Structure 1
Amino acid sequence: MNQRKTQDKTSVWLFTVLFLSLPGYVQAQFTSSISGFFSKEWEGKQAMVVAKPLQGPPLIDTTTIVNRSATFTIKLTEPCAAYLWIDGLKEDIQFFIDSPKISIGVESGLFGSAIIAGSASSERWAEQFTRSQYGRDLEPDDQFALLNALTSGDSLTAFTLEYKLDSLRTLDRNAVANLILEQPALASSWYMFASSMFSYRQMLDLFNSLPTFASYPSYQRIKAELTQKQLGKKAPDFNLTTAMGKPVHLSDLTSRFVLIDFSMRHQVSCQKRHFDLKKLYQKYHPLGFEIVTVSVEFDRIYGRDALTKYPLPWIQVQDFMDAPLITKDFAVNYMPDNVLLDANKIMIGRDMSVQELDAMLEQLLSK
């Protein structure tokens, strides 16, 4: 009889969580109270909510489960992903903080998983998190083989593996983009967008589909970044030096078209890009095409001999992560990246594959 009463009490609580804890309206700044109801065997255990904002360190609130309950308070600038950790629980409970009040119910053997109410985004976020974890689980073996190929100098195997990984990353980006576009009004859709890497064109298209989040600080930050990258604008000038100490001024280059290629010499994706660009350079350089590779190094000491050890058949200069110059001016966040300029140094292409560059140059230089 007592067991039946306990089950009835639990069912009433879960009904209340599911149907009475309605999502609240989310401002750009808010405090969220997260309440939990847990299995009897977790009484007295430590529990912790870890929020993962887009910028800055994780936000953590820790407490002890008392009377099968625990309450956490998280102050956020904008909604973000989070997880609930319980001492002894095998897997963390993933959820999304997008409301002032969220309830999480975990009852052993009842439904087999946590029940989350008050968060409009948590179900979609859990789906995305599970899918992204699966994707990461598939990569380590290939990454390890890639590292071995690089160490042994087997560039053919390294490039083959990089092509495979690049294809997987493209599929992953497209899958994330589809999830975002299915429900663009969910806060988790914005978080997925702002925490993922997309090509310039894909990023621009997705950003224009997410005006709901214009009040978020991250929205304004990404908007400013996209303004820097906007095609049709004049590229910022720069003055850097080659390995021989020769100054390179962008404004002094007289070629019909200039590709600014941003790379890191240790990334296989950048090495592969340079391998393909060499064919493109041979084809179009006599027609007025120039490349300037900006090799991004950790610092000046680390990159001192890099330009002489890894020569390229075109202009090569350096920028440094500890004091970035043109990578910051061009809003470069990852590599490889590139910007195609016309003779007036107007940006006419961004983040283009070698195949896209080939097609565009074929059209432009045939005029």
Structure 2
Amino acid sequence: MMKAYFLFLVIFLISWTGFAQEGYRVEGHIPGLADGELYLVLPTTEGVRTLGTTNLKGGAFTFEGKVEDGCVALLKTADGQVTIPVMLENTLIQVKAVEGKLSITGGEAQQLYNNYLQLIQSIAAGQASFQTEFQLAMRMKNQEMMKTIQKQCDKLAEEGRQQELAWIKEHGNHFVASYIVASVIDQLDYEDLKARYDLLGFPAKATFYGQLVMLSLSQQKTVATGEIAPDFTVKRWEGDTISLHGIKGKVKLLHFWSSDNTVCRENNVELLKLYNKYHSKGFEIFSVSLDENESAWKKAIGEDGMAWKHGADLKGATGSEVVRLYFVKNIPSTFLLDEENRIVGKNLTPDALKKEIAVMLKKK
């Protein structure tokens, strides 16, 4: 009788444990969040689906439910000011704020995402030291030091890029990888985004975030290397208008910049050297400003001796149709074009740009 009771107890415990782990439980405590409703939502191709709603009180909250497959869910406050991604699986997931930093623990997917974040943070920490040194060199107006630091920073950035690509390749079938690639859509140009997308396996590409990346790539392909650069017309600093395709040149550099950006202003020094060296051989520069203040734009052109062609719609980075047309992520940003306005290079380093221009002009 005792053996039968013991066997029943074991079976009961196994069944109860299995039942308890069938679903997910998201519990958290984030001090500082205002009391109110908190949502757990799931973005899908059919729209955003609400998985749960709870009352946030004193920064504490709990969600319970069940998902058929692992996915990326979002914790969102009612005002939309706070959005926290959670790698949702049928397990216990804990969200905490520890010394001002968010900590999320959970299942295998969350651990995978956390490992990726650690990699990115490590890469960013290494680059931060170079940025501090570069700013110091700028204040000292030490051009040679700036060049040296920039080369070191570019090398470190490439090493970091290769580490990131290796990570995505290793975990390319996982839905976490598709979310990671989608999270940098607004930061990468077509080539870099495609390089990451191509490393995803079919299961990851089939997810909502995989499809999101594919859609972005189809839109950005218009300004990919090898494509004819889209034409546009903007106001010239002299007062009339100018179009990209109307500019004649054996080699053209489309240059996006802003007068209030210190890196752009320093980069103008290098562009002036290129212009002076190659303009007589058929090289032309077309600088498109992201300024809103016309006076500041014109003043910077004069101060930096930018003797080439200029244009602007004076709508700023967020309002400019040209910025949207070219999917400009950061400035300075450059597109190297041939005589037929075909894009042959994008955001090349100063040394690579100089070499490519020389090679292209020699072919003419």
Task: Determine if the TM-score, normalized by the shorter chain, exceeds 0.5.
Answer: yes
Confirm or deny that 1:228 pairs with 2:228: no
Aligned to 1:202: 192
Maintained 8 Å contact 1:95/1:123: no
Aligned to 1:35: 26
1:104 to 93, 108, 122: 93
Confirm or deny that 1:247 pairs with 2:254: no
SS at match of 1:345: coil
For 1:163 and 1:175, the matched residues in 2 are separated by 19
2:317 to 295, 314, 321: 321
Aligned to 1:187: 175
Pair 1:125–1:334, CA change in 2 (3 A):
same
Pair 1:143–1:51, CA change in 2 (3 A):
farther
For 2:109 and 2:292, the matched residues in 1 are separated by 38
Confirm or deny that 1:278 pairs with 2:266: no
Pair 1:354–1:154, CA change in 2 (3 A):
closer
1:292 to 282, 286, 291: 286
For 2:65 and 2:305, the matched residues in 1 are separated by 55
For 1:74 and 1:271, the matched residues in 2 are separated by 54
Amino acid at match of 1:296: L
Map 1:59-208 onto structure 2 (within 5 A): 63=56, 70-71=62-63, 79-80=71-72, 96-99=86-89, 101-104=90-93, 116-117=106-107, 120-138=108-126, 143=131, 146-147=134-135, 150=138, 161-196=149-184, 197-198=187-188, 200-208=190-198
For 1:159 and 1:359, the matched residues in 2 are separated by 16
For 1:80 and 1:303, the matched residues in 2 are separated by 43
TM-aligned CA deviation for residue 349 of structure 1? 2.5
Provide the TM-score with structure 1 as the length reference.
0.66
Pair 1:355–1:214, CA change in 2 (3 A):
farther
Maintained 8 Å contact 1:260/1:339: yes
Maintained 8 Å contact 1:262/1:336: yes
For 2:228 and 2:322, the matched residues in 1 are separated by 14
For 1:98 and 1:353, the matched residues in 2 are separated by 41
Maintained 8 Å contact 1:181/1:209: yes
Aligned to 2:347: 351
1:307 to 295, 301, 306: 301
Identity of aligned residues (%): 18
TM-aligned CA deviation for residue 290 of structure 1? 0.9
For 1:142 and 1:104, the matched residues in 2 are separated by 37
- Aligned-residue Cα RMSD (Å) equals 4.6
Maintained 8 Å contact 1:260/1:294: yes
For 2:53 and 2:123, the matched residues in 1 are separated by 27
Pair 1:231–1:139, CA change in 2 (3 A):
closer
Pair 1:218–1:182, CA change in 2 (3 A):
same
1:309-364 Cα shifts (integer Å, max 9, x gaps) = 44313222224224202221122122232222222222232332233333333332
Pair 1:137–1:291, CA change in 2 (3 A):
same
For 2:61 and 2:253, the matched residues in 1 are separated by 60
SS at match of 1:237: coil
For 1:271 and 1:127, the matched residues in 2 are separated by 38
Pair 1:326–1:198, CA change in 2 (3 A):
closer
Pair 1:317–1:69, CA change in 2 (3 A):
closer
Aligned to 1:340: 336
Pair 1:264–1:176, CA change in 2 (3 A):
farther
**Count of aligned positions:** 315
Provide the TM-score with structure 2 as the length reference.
0.67
Amino acid at match of 1:231: T
TM-aligned CA deviation for residue 199 of structure 1? 5.6
Amino acid at match of 1:206: R
TM-aligned CA deviation for residue 255 of structure 1? 0.9
SS at match of 1:259: strand
SS at match of 1:262: strand
For 1:272 and 1:260, the matched residues in 2 are separated by 17
SS at match of 1:104: strand
TM-aligned CA deviation for residue 297 of structure 1? 2.0
Pair 1:341–1:184, CA change in 2 (3 A):
same
Q: Where does structure 2 lack aligned partners over 5 or more consecutive residues?
A: 1-12, 30-35, 77-83, 96-102
SS at match of 1:340: strand
